[in-house]
Structure 1
Amino acid sequence: MYKFIILALALLGIDQGTKALIVSRLNLGDQIEVIPNFLYITSIRNRGAAWGILEDHMSIFYVITTVVVLAIVFAFYKYKKEHFTLHLSLSLILAGAVGNLVDRIRYQEVVDFIQTIWGNYYFPIFNVADMCLSIGVVVLMVYVLFGDKWNKKKSKQRGKYYFE
């Protein structure tokens, strides 16, 4: 379980480090082309969630993030013997939630900077924390849908199923 907390802390460090770099080196609206017509570093700020949802409602984000973090800590404790996939998903979600919470506390907005373009579609600009959240939720869904099919064994000590 501790290695997953370390993973979450490492991802949080990467998230906060990249955001600090963006804030210190780029002005708002500056753009750097990384891969022409596909990937750009674009410095923007977001006062809401994805696509600017709930803009300027910081108190909602504080409450939701606090509940999510507490639920993840509880899940780590309660399901400490569960499958790798569950712990991986929780680590990713924890890193993403805390990463954006730190921004909201520090800047009263979230620093976003990764911009992707696919043809004529401009995907909303995001950050490392957003990637962690998105990937973590997908991994959690995979675990919820298929987890009981992976290496299920009956524990003779507790009479419960667990994953190795």
Structure 2
Amino acid sequence: MMKHGAIFAVIAFILDRISKWWFLDIFDLPNKGVVEILPIFNVVMVWNRGVSFGMFSASDEVGRWALVVLTLVIVGVLVHWLRAAQNIWQSGAIGLVIGGAFGNIYDRVKFGAVIDYFQFHWNDWYFAVFNVADSFIFIGAVLLIINSTFGDDPEEQKDQN
């Protein structure tokens, strides 16, 4: 299962890097401001110095590197969990979270902040701005919840081995 999780992590990381490269260097989002794609969806350039949804902003270098270290510790725990994964759903989900985390770690190390650009809104109510890495982290977390709720019975897995 470790190999499956690693493949999911690498794919998530690569897709995140490609999307951020495209929005920064090709689409030139920093110079465009807010670009309306649909009446409920914009792309907008945000440098997120905090964690999810901009919480716990780390505006100085100590905070920046503390968030890098904290995220690496979390990734270490996830890798340990991945080694014990029981099925491809679990390993893939953990891999998505790891890949997304590495995408955001890369940004924090290279730029000092995470690049966010997707924004949903309804009239004057704007949701948090996020990126592809955040999406993979969210999808992976949801899949882990689904797998833990509806996944294989551990007793059945022992019988199959």
The equivalent residue for 2:89 is: 85
Q: Provide the secondary structure at the position in 1 that maps to 2:157.
A: strand
Alignment check: 8 A CA contact 1:28 1:44 kept = no
Out of 10, 33, 44, the residue aligned to residue 36 of structure 2 is 33
Q: Aligned letter for 1:30?
A: G
Q: Provide the secondary structure at the position in 1 that maps to 2:5.
A: helix
The equivalent residue for 1:19 is: 20
Pairs aligned (count): 154
1:151 is displaced (CA, Å) by 9.1
Unpaired runs of 5+ residues, structure 1, are 158-164
Query: In 1, distance between residues paired with 2:160 and 2:118?
Result: 49
TM-score, with normalisation over the residues of structure 1? Answer: 0.83
Q: Aligned letter for 2:6?
A: I
TM-score, with normalisation over the residues of structure 2? Answer: 0.84
Unpaired runs of 5+ residues, structure 2, are none
The equivalent residue for 1:44 is: 46
Query: In 2, distance between residues paired with 1:143 and 1:136?
Result: 10
Distance 1:151 1:118, change over 3 A: farther
The equivalent residue for 1:53 is: 55
Query: In 2, distance between residues paired with 1:150 and 1:135?
Result: 23
Q: Aligned letter for 1:6?
A: I
Q: Provide the secondary structure at the position in 1 that maps to 2:130.
A: coil
Distance 1:105 1:13, change over 3 A: same
Q: Provide the secondary structure at the position in 2 that maps to 1:45.
A: strand
Sequence identity of aligned pairs in percent? 27
Q: RMSD over aligned Cα, in angstroms?
A: 2.2
Q: Aligned letter for 2:49?
A: R
The equivalent residue for 1:161 is: none
Residues 62-111 of structure 1, C-alpha deviations (whole Å, 9 max, x = no match): 222111211222222233xx122211210111011111000000000000
When structure 1 is superposed on structure 2, of 117-126 and 146-155 the one drifting more is 146-155
Alignment check: 8 A CA contact 1:29 1:44 kept = no
Larger RCO (CA within 8 A; separation ≥ 6): 2
Query: In 2, distance between residues paired with 1:99 and 1:10?
Result: 11
